[in-house]
Amino acid sequence: MSNLLFELGVEELPASFIRKASADLEREILMRLEEAGIWKPSENAAAERYATPRRLIVHVPDVNERQEDTVKEVRGPSMQAAYDSEGKPSRALEGFCRGQGVDVADLRNDGEYVWADKKVVGKETGELLKELLPESVRALTFSKSMRWGSARMRFARPIRWILACFGGEIISFEIEGV
């Protein structure tokens, strides 16, 4: 397990925005980490947040290095469509097997449908963070927001820098050219 440090540098925020923005950023990040299955509040150390008029910082200890592999149950064609009159696999069943990356022998049925257990390999946390962190920032809302330069995103003040570090490695991504 490694630590995640995220810092969002902005032009000076109004004093009334700081506390809410800091809490919202922490909530958005933790929610996405938990949904991705790489952090659990009941099992891991508590996150910390810090804020100044120009910085919103979230520190999350004990984030897993990668998602766990999972097995997903996928429903295939009905039994009538899966096998021909001689009991041989139909083209529909073969196509389903190709699409799921499983062999016909590995399928099971419940009398009505054919089912496949598909192994889903977990992603590395560094790759997930490249998507989760920008989503967390974009999810922040303010009572008054603005656009700056050619940016389409609305935020309380222009974003000037971003620091995202996981396990001592920099996580590179871009938000509105930053």
89-104 pLDDT tens trace: 888 888 888 888 888 8
pLDDT given at position 91: 86
Tokens of 77: 């064609």
Q: Please tell me the distance from the alpha carbon of residue 121 to that of residue 68, in angstroms, as a whole number.
A: 7
What residues pair up with 161 in beta bridges, in sequence order? Answer: 9
Contact 67, 122 (CB under 8 A): yes
* pLDDT tens-digit series, residues 107-141: 888 888 888 888 888 888 888 899 999 999 999 88
Tokens of 43: 């099992």
Question: Cα dihedral sign for 25, 27, 28, 32?
Answer: positive
Q: Please tell me the distance from the alpha carbon of residue 53 to that of residue 70, in angstroms, as a whole number.
A: 42
pLDDT given at position 19: 93
pLDDT given at position 31: 92
Q: Please tell me the distance from the alpha carbon of residue 128 to that of residue 130, in angstroms, as a whole number.
A: 5
Opening angle at CA 43, ends 120 and 63, nearest 5: 60
Segment 30-57 mean pLDDT: 88
Question: Which of 51-60, 71-80, 127-136 shows the lowest per-residue confidence on average (mean pLDDT)?
Answer: 71-80
Q: Please tell me the distance from the alpha carbon of residue 148 to that of residue 67, in angstroms, as a whole number.
A: 36
